[in-house]
Amino acid sequence: MRFTAAVLVSLGGLALAQTQITVNVGSPLQEIDGFGISQAFTRAREFEESDPEPRQKGLDYLFNTETGAGLTIIRNRIGSTTSDAILPRSPGSPTAAPQYVWDGSDSSQVWFSKEARKYGVTTIYADAWSAPAFMKTNNNEANGGYLCGVTGRTCASGDWRQAFANMLTQYVKYYAEAGVPVTHLGFLNEPDYVVSYSSMQSDGNQAASFIPTLYNTLQAANITNVSIACCDPIGWGSARTFANQLVSAGMERYMGIMTSHAYSGDPDAPPLSTRLKVWQTEACDLNSRWCATWYSNGGACEGLTWANKIHRGIVNANLSAYIYWQGFEVNQFQASSYLVASDGKVVTPSGRLWAFAMWSRFVRPGARRVSSSGSVSGVGYGAFKNPDNSVAVVFTNTGSGAQNVRIGFTGYTASNAQALWSTTWTDFDRYNHDDRIYHHNDIEYSDIDTDTTGSMCRGRLRAVWWRGLVRM
């Protein structure tokens, strides 16, 4: 069999190697769905209303595989307030005919999704933070409260589970009519955390009392290509509890993915006990002012910090997707909860964006993580076989100095090596089109037919590709 092999060495300086690792392409692990962001809570509208030049620059930074991060997942919010829900007013009872309202924009999330699709993005995750107020025990779409009718929660107005499932299904239909197929559908956001904005409480057992209703409603509407997601709890520890409850309740047959956030704990070993794919669907730095730093002192806003988080999530927790909170914001320099900043004219990428780039550019949707052996002091790595049969190995060096690595492959031969590198991460956006990028066809390696070599220095990018024909 012939295919193209690409080895990517990230986060560092470079190569000549003594430490050996071996990649076994014939031993597949989890499938990768991608990496992404959201523009929820009017950030998509803010993006759309930006001037054309910074708007286009922002889109390129997020989705372009040559000059940006090449992100591949969008997470949209399903509105629940009287101003953004498709069912803003109670029909009077759970069984009364609903009066849906659709403006074709959904706070510009339709526009944003369509723009992303121009770059090849096909994975759209639609998630409800809450049901509308009249469907909940507290009669409020904020401040927690439960969906009327789930296990242990009743309301004088009746059981609203079917009505909520109908509303979510109608939302998916509206997006399909707009030319934006929703691929994943969720109905909870941090159900273990009560806040003063859109929120709804649940545990795994209560979610299990709704999931079959949602599944059957989608099936009855002939919507068979949408995967149900649950439950976006606030951290990895909570996700483990939710997953155990859902698995025990037999929910895997109805669901497509288990989901978690990373605020009270980052995804890490051990993985969740489920046969389903697992996504980390929201994480960010909530405490820092805007910073574009790649590495300074290990701060929460720095790119290398997020490179490590992504590595642990994908390699240790067996995640199939990793999503940052927001992608692009305008004049929000008090925060680092997004990846690309604009002052209305100048657009600035963060080190966090480039951390995502080193994964999303080279580990594409449908890739399979493959097993490997060997270790490098202070360096984490993961190996992946892409759908085009290229192979990428992503290294993350957390040490203070260079590490030399030799990469071997079992069962095939790589050739036509080429190195692509930038002197600093802030220049990575100039990848392939200015004099700070260097292409080496004469990089040092010993016997390209059997192995390739590379070394990495923290805080300085040197991304190394080996692309070539491979025989198996």
String of DSSP letters for 214-234: HHHHHHHTT--S-EEEE---S
**CATH, residue 53:** 3.20.20.80
State how far the alpha carbon of 140 is from the alpha carbons of 207, 261, 453, in Å: 19, 24, 59
Predicted local distance difference test score (pLDDT) of residue 18: 66
Same domain, 74 and 171: yes
Q: Taking each helix axis from N to C terminus, what angle separates 303-311 and 351-360, rounded to the nearest 10 degrees? A: 30
Backbone angles phi, psi at 282, to 5 degrees: -165, 125
Rounded Cα distance, 6 and 368, in Å: 14
User: Per DSSP, what are the bridge partners of residue 409?
Assistant: 23
Rounded Cα distance, 361 and 359, in Å: 6
Q: Which residues of 55-90 are buried (b: 16+ CB within 10 A; e: fewer)?
A: bebbbbbbbbbebbbbbbbbbbbbbbeeebbbbbeb
Same domain, 380 and 403: yes
Q: Which of 365, 392, 410 is the last residue of a domain?
A: 365
Cis amide linkage into residue 270, ω under 30° from 0? yes
Query: Which pairs count as long-range contacts for 437-441, CB under 8 Å and 24+ apart, including other chains?
Result: 441/417
Q: Which of 325, 350, 365 is the last residue of a domain?
A: 365
Same domain, 100 and 229: yes
**CATH, residue 10:** 2.60.40.1180
Residues 252, 275 contacting (CB under 8 angstroms):
yes
- Amino acid (1-letter code) at residue 411: G
Predicted local distance difference test score (pLDDT) of residue 415: 56
Strand 417-422 and strand 437-440: the pairing is antiparallel
Same domain, 457 and 337: no
pTM of the model: 0.90
Predicted local distance difference test score (pLDDT) of residue 86: 99
Same domain, 332 and 464: no
Rounded Cα distance, 417 and 468, in Å: 7
Same domain, 271 and 306: yes
Predicted local distance difference test score (pLDDT) of residue 321: 99
Helices (H) and strands (E) in the chain, counts: 9, 21
Q: With CA atoms as reference, report the closest residue to 407 among 444, 450, 443.
A: 450
The count of structural domains within the chain is 2
Q: Which of 308, 342, 365 is the last residue of a domain?
A: 365
Return the residue matching tokens 């193209």.
4
Backbone angles phi, psi at 147, to 5 degrees: -70, 125
Same domain, 337 and 242: yes
Predicted local distance difference test score (pLDDT) of residue 349: 98
Name the residue range of residue 62's domain: 34-365
Per-residue pLDDT of the chain in tens (472 residues, 90 and over written 9): 222 233 443 333 333 446 889 999 889 999 999 999 999 999 999 999 999 999 999 999 999 999 999 999 999 999 999 999 999 999 999 999 999 999 999 999 999 999 999 999 999 999 999 999 999 999 999 999 999 999 999 999 999 999 999 999 999 999 999 999 999 999 999 999 999 999 999 999 999 999 999 999 999 999 999 999 999 999 999 999 999 999 999 999 999 999 999 999 999 999 999 999 999 999 999 999 999 999 999 999 999 999 999 999 999 999 999 999 999 999 999 999 999 999 999 999 999 999 999 999 999 999 999 999 999 888 899 999 999 888 888 888 888 777 788 888 886 566 554 444 433 344 443 333 232 222 333 222 222 222 334 444 443 333 344 443 333 3
User: How many residues comprise the chain?
Assistant: 472
Same domain, 266 and 171: yes
Same domain, 360 and 405: no
Residues 110, 180 contacting (CB under 8 angstroms):
yes
Q: Where are the alpha helices (DSSP H) in 23-151?
A: 43-48, 52-63, 109-118
Same domain, 194 and 96: yes
Same domain, 79 and 145: yes
Same domain, 24 and 46: no
